[in-house]
Amino acid sequence: MDQEAAAERALLASVDGSDVPGPVAAEFLALAASLMDASTVRGVLVRVVEAARAVVPGADLVSVTLRAAGGFHTPVETDPLATRLDEIQYRLDNGPCVDATRKAGLGLTFCSDLAASTRFGPFGPAAADLGVHSVLAIGLFPDGDGPRMGALNIYSRQVAGLDELDRDLALVLAAHASTALAATMAATSAELEAAQLRQALESRDVIGQAKGILMERRKIGADEAFGVLRSASQALNVKLAQVAKTLVDRRTEV
């Protein structure tokens, strides 16, 4: 049985057989409801790390890694130590949270004994020195061969502190997070495009008004009026739309 099916089984096991969900299922229901209310990427991530800390039994610290143009960063965490652990991996360009953004399939990266592991180079011993001995990281949106936009990171202070159930629950959490992030980013992108379209239409309208004023005052054609505006824009090093708006706003003074 695959990881997602196992995760669903784990969730069903938290229900006591009645119509009332168990505590884990209730947390996921609450998470799903809260994600519907989140309107920003940060809002989604805060809800996800809080849910991970609450429902994953072995989770002592939780954070989210996000990929940006300049590298990786940690926008949310449940403890500053989680960010410190993440940042060690960013500097090394090696570690579970970095690996999970690049790994194909589920993007699942796991280590039960960081002090004894050589898989991530210096990161394992460094994490153990800071009192963290187990880690689980799962890639976030999109699925496939990567690279992904980030990872959900779960740390335990205990050797073998994260087990199969923890991994299954984290997979379901990551799936929730990925879906919500995709929807939020799509909505944000649509809003940005709408704002840019409005701005373009407003700019075109004000340029048209300014051209009309010049045509009337100077008795010139449309092309010549546009040339006047463009020359003023270049001479003043100001956007053409702003030159046009100034002319329209101060039409009685010119």
Give residues with Cβ within 8 angstroms of 117, minimum separation 6. 111, 124
Judged against a pLDDT cut of 70, whether residue 146 lies above it is answered with: no
Q: Assess whether 208 and 170 both reside in one domain.
A: no
Q: Assess whether 145 and 43 both reside in one domain.
A: yes
- CA 177/CA 181 separation, integer angstroms: 6
In percent, the amount of the chain with pLDDT more than 90 equals 29
| Ramachandran sector of residue 114 (left: φ over 0; alpha: ψ -120 to 50; beta: rest) | alpha
Q: Assess whether 94 and 208 both reside in one domain.
A: no
- Report how many domains make up the chain: 2
Helical H segments across 66-163, by residue range: 80-92, 96-102, 123-129
Structure tokens at 103: 């790994």
Please count the residues of the chain: 254
- CA 15/CA 90 separation, integer angstroms: 40
Q: Assess whether 210 and 133 both reside in one domain.
A: no
Q: Residue 131 has what DSSP assignment? A: T
Which of 173, 144, 145 lies closest to 64, judged by CA? 173
Cβ atoms 208, 186 nearer than 8 A: no
* Tens-digit pLDDT profile for residues 201-211: 566 777 888 88
Q: Assess whether 66 and 164 both reside in one domain.
A: yes
Find the domain containing 119 and state its range: 3-189
- CA 247/CA 2 separation, integer angstroms: 66
- The residue that leads in pLDDT, 58 or 106, is 58
Q: Assess whether 87 and 177 both reside in one domain.
A: yes
Structure tokens at 217: 């005052």
Q: Can you tell me the mean pLDDT for 74-87? A: 94
Indicate which CATH number applies to the domain containing 243: 1.10.10.10
- pLDDT attached to residue 48: 82
User: Which of 155, 189, 223 finishes a domain?
Assistant: 189
Cβ atoms 98, 65 nearer than 8 A: yes
Q: Assess whether 57 and 110 both reside in one domain.
A: yes
Cβ atoms 181, 152 nearer than 8 A: no
Cβ atoms 117, 124 nearer than 8 A: yes
Q: Residue 71 has what DSSP assignment? A: E
Judged against a pLDDT cut of 70, whether residue 116 lies above it is answered with: yes
Q: Can you tell me the mean pLDDT for 206-229? A: 81
Q: Assess whether 246 and 126 both reside in one domain.
A: no
Q: Assess whether 180 and 197 both reside in one domain.
A: no
pTM for the structure as a whole: 0.60
Q: What is the mean pLDDT of the chain?
A: 76
Cβ–Cβ contacts within 10 Å for residue 135, how many? 28
Cβ–Cβ contacts within 10 Å for residue 83, how many? 19
Indicate which CATH number applies to the domain containing 180: 3.30.450.40
Angle at the Cα of 77 (from 73 to 82), degrees rounded to 5? 80
| Ramachandran sector of residue 243 (left: φ over 0; alpha: ψ -120 to 50; beta: rest) | alpha
- pLDDT attached to residue 59: 93
In percent, the amount of the chain with pLDDT more than 70 equals 69
- CA 130/CA 84 separation, integer angstroms: 9
Q: Assess whether 151 and 78 both reside in one domain.
A: yes
User: Which of 154, 189, 224 finishes a domain?
Assistant: 189
Q: Assess whether 10 and 121 both reside in one domain.
A: yes
Judged against a pLDDT cut of 60, whether residue 72 lies above it is answered with: yes
Q: Assess whether 62 and 182 both reside in one domain.
A: yes
User: Which of 149, 170, 189 finishes a domain?
Assistant: 189
